[in-house]
Chain A
């Protein structure tokens, strides 16, 4: 694996067109400034880059495979489908890429305590993992509703030495966990690094997360070139806050021939109230430190969102995605629960891969679009995580009673 290029993003202002910024309480401003400066410094530091590289290779199991899904390609009868297997990383998802980068930065900044929010628990598990590795104190904020439905991940985090705080304020889900983590951080910034899980929040998070996740597209571009000598015609990834998608897109944004597609969680349907399709249903707003697109009512209250996938039910999207959507560089499509569950079963039976329900939103779009494309065209679809965690809920969705 070649060393990760952290300077892909030439715009380091924290603004993506009108989106982005630092809409955050004064208490955190100096700390964010320190973080941004530290990141600018260390991304040019050979020692930091070597450490990052070694961790990505030796600990996270990179590079991840770019796998030609021959059976799926044949079955769908159109474009050639390549799967970027982030599900094969240590901890089972793309989350580890970002967590390694931010934790390493935290270590270099002299921080001894990591805090993080988590929805389904994947980012919490990844953070707890890296905290164990670095011997750092770790506290995870997780909505009470999520701790109740993801008991296994709660225990997993505790096993890794983290303390998990069930958040009982607001709607008790991911956005409330972020609120609680931010509030905890305002109380204790000295020794604490808030390790944000998605390409969201105030600058420098969207920039850092994009850079650390861009390993996905740096590898896929090189791997596809080795295999086919070509660029893909289309890159597809699922979008909640948008970290795996921005990482999957990053190295292709300046390649105009590559179509970029983000699959959003439409829940029960983009037009229903039970949805998390931020780009399609949302509007411009300011929340969680960023100007971006959010699901909100007319007054500007953030509204509850829904998706079968706990990893995608966030009422906003990272500011760079809002910018890519607004400029038309990337397209965002809603995939319903039904379509995602069907894709979960399809890819399991066709390719023998149990992929995360989040990732299956991207797979569902590939199923729709591949047959309409020519056989010489290529789609790269990111499988952001593995689906073991979802098996029980898929069974429940299908009305199958299994003893967990």
Chain B
């Protein structure tokens, strides 16, 4: 079974996100390790992209910071960060990036390196179901799960997407881009139920979650919660002091996803 799927076993999963090279090489390594120490079940590491069209202002800004001093930041440097992370933790890792980064490195070479470093999956917001074919067989060969996204307006596509999913399914909480918000789309329960009729692959809800209350609420609906912008805000605010804050935040959120809801 996929290590990612495993991370949801017997509990709700908490999946935080930070951007690579924000603030720098060592900062990235420390941040990921701190999230693991706080109890993250999977860590999502963002590979910065010049034009992150699915991301809101917070993650856009993180990508810009990450590329500011070195716009040519090589993918190999990011793989080296993962190598350094792997010396300290075996927390399941996924990359979040845009397809061009993977395409430019070469699908074969990229997924082979992922396999070697224990990157268990890829979340690629600009690779919908129809465009998976070119990467899927190669990723499968290297045991890298391609995590699909399902949205509140996926409609008839929900079952098709769910049927081919491995690892976990990223359920987008609401329309628009990533970033903290106070309201989520109606019908998330129905959406998750439709997925569950088709597959046993677990679901995690992301986009907009930042408070413990929201994490508890979302984990009642799905099998886990993904939090990006809130973690990135901590990195932006605390810089080198971010790791301790990230560990604390993760502890709270991890407890929240497994808490009973207050009614």
- Interface of A with B (CB < 8 Å)? 21-27, 29-31, 169-170, 175-176, 179, 182-183, 186-189, 284-289, 294, 296-303
CA distance A303 to B104 in the complex (A): 14
30 contacts between A and B (CB under 8 A): A23-B126, A23-B127, A23-B128, A23-B131, A24-B128, A25-B54, A25-B125, A25-B126, A26-B148, A26-B157, A26-B161, A30-B156, A176-B51, A183-B53, A186-B175, A186-B177, A189-B153, A189-B175, A285-B104, A286-B103, A296-B100, A296-B104, A298-B104, A299-B75, A299-B104, A299-B105, A300-B103, A301-B67, A303-B50, A303-B71
Query: Is the Cβ of A299 less than 8 Å from the Cβ of B73?
Result: yes
Query: Is the Cβ of B99 less than 8 Å from the Cβ of A30?
Result: no
Query: Is the Cβ of B53 less than 8 Å from the Cβ of A21?
Result: no
B131–chain A nearest beta-carbon distance, Å = 6
Q: Is B229 an interface residue (CB 8 A)?
A: no
Query: Is the Cβ of A29 less than 8 Å from the Cβ of B157?
Result: yes
Chain B residues lying within 8 Å of A300, measured Cβ to Cβ, are 49, 100-101, 103-105
Chain A residues lying within 8 Å of B149, measured Cβ to Cβ, are 25-26
Is the contact region of chain A dominated by helix, strand, or loop, or is it mixed?
A: mixed
Query: Is the Cβ of A25 less than 8 Å from the Cβ of B72?
Result: no
Chain B residues lying within 8 Å of A27, measured Cβ to Cβ, are 151, 153, 172, 175-176
B6–chain A nearest beta-carbon distance, Å = 25
Q: Is B150 an interface residue (CB 8 A)?
A: yes
Closest to B125 in A: A25
CA distance A294 to B161 in the complex (A): 29
A25–chain B nearest beta-carbon distance, Å = 5
| A183-B73 CB under 8 A given contacts A23-B126, A289-B126, A299-B104 | no
Query: Is the Cβ of A169 less than 8 Å from the Cβ of B153?
Result: no
A32–chain B nearest beta-carbon distance, Å = 9
Chain B residues lying within 8 Å of A22, measured Cβ to Cβ, are 128, 130-131
Chain A residues lying within 8 Å of B175, measured Cβ to Cβ, are 27, 186-189
Q: B residues 168-205 with Cβ under 8 Å of A? A: 172, 175-177
Q: Is B116 an interface residue (CB 8 A)?
A: no
CA distance A27 to B54 in the complex (A): 9
B67–chain A nearest beta-carbon distance, Å = 7
Q: Is B64 an interface residue (CB 8 A)?
A: yes
Pick the residue among B72, B128, B150 that contacts A299 (CB under 8 A). B72
Q: Is B137 an interface residue (CB 8 A)?
A: no
Query: Is the Cβ of A26 less than 8 Å from the Cβ of B172?
Result: yes
Chain B residues lying within 8 Å of A294, measured Cβ to Cβ, are 100
CA distance A167 to B95 in the complex (A): 28
Chain B residues lying within 8 Å of A299, measured Cβ to Cβ, are 72-75, 101, 104-105
A176–chain B nearest beta-carbon distance, Å = 8
| A183-B176 CB under 8 A given contacts A23-B99, A26-B154 | yes
| A26-B151 CB under 8 A given contacts A285-B103, A300-B103 | yes
CA distance A189 to B175 in the complex (A): 9
B146–chain A nearest beta-carbon distance, Å = 13
Chain A residues lying within 8 Å of B75, measured Cβ to Cβ, are 299
| A286-B71 CB under 8 A given contacts A170-B50, A296-B100, A298-B104 | no
Pick the residue among B51, B71, B127 that contacts A179 (CB under 8 A). B51
CB-CB nearest 3 A-B residue pairs: A300-B104, A187-B176, A301-B50
Chain A residues lying within 8 Å of B72, measured Cβ to Cβ, are 297-299, 301
Query: Is the Cβ of A25 less than 8 Å from the Cβ of B53?
Result: yes
Pick the residue among B49, B56, B125, B128 that contacts A301 (CB under 8 A). B49
Q: B residues 130-146 with Cβ under 8 Å of A? A: 130-131
Q: Is B250 an interface residue (CB 8 A)?
A: no
Best-surrounded residue of A297, A299, A303 (most CB of chain B within 10 A)? A299
Chain B residues lying within 8 Å of A303, measured Cβ to Cβ, are 50, 71
CA distance A171 to B5 in the complex (A): 39
| A29-B104 CB under 8 A given contacts A186-B177, A298-B72 | no
CA distance A303 to B157 in the complex (A): 34
Chain A residues lying within 8 Å of B151, measured Cβ to Cβ, are 26-27
Chain A residues lying within 8 Å of B99, measured Cβ to Cβ, are 23, 286
CA distance A179 to B104 in the complex (A): 21
CB-defined interface of B102-127 with A at 8 Å, one 1/0 digit per residue?
01110000000000000000000111
Chain A residues lying within 8 Å of B73, measured Cβ to Cβ, are 299, 301
Query: Is the Cβ of B131 less than 8 Å from the Cβ of A30?
Result: no
Best-surrounded residue of B50, B104, B153, B156 (most CB of chain A within 10 A)? B50
